[in-house]
Amino acid sequence: MGVIGLCLGILAILLDVTMVLARVGIWMSFVGIFMSAVGVTKTRVGTATNRGVSITGMILSVTALVLAIVVQSIWRSI
């Protein structure tokens, strides 16, 4: 789950930069945050060992969400 969250976070950041697909990036970042949270939970339980990947995915997904909000506010002001 952490790897999926990481990939979604990276893709969401790339979509946010394009400005046109920032709304898709918002949804991808929400899913990335959820998947990363599931990954962190699985590492606490002991069923997964990729805690660093899960945390990195969560950080990137939250960054993508903030970036998408900023891009959307800039896009609307133009």
Domain that holds residue 7: 2-77
Q: How far apart are CA 11 and CA 65, in angstroms?
A: 12
**How far is the CA of 4 from the CAs of 15, 39, 55, in angstroms?**
16, 9, 12
pLDDT at site 52: 94
What is the pLDDT, as a whole number, of residue 77?
A: 83
Q: How does pLDDT run across 11-67, given as a tens digit for each residue?
A: 999 998 887 788 898 999 999 999 999 999 999 999 988 999 999 999 999 999 999
For residues 37, 41, 47, 50, the Cα torsion angle rounded to the nearest 10 degrees is 50
If one counts the domains in the chain, the total is: 1
Q: Against a cut of 0.85, is the pTM above it?
A: yes
**Residue 47 gets which letter from DSSP?**
S
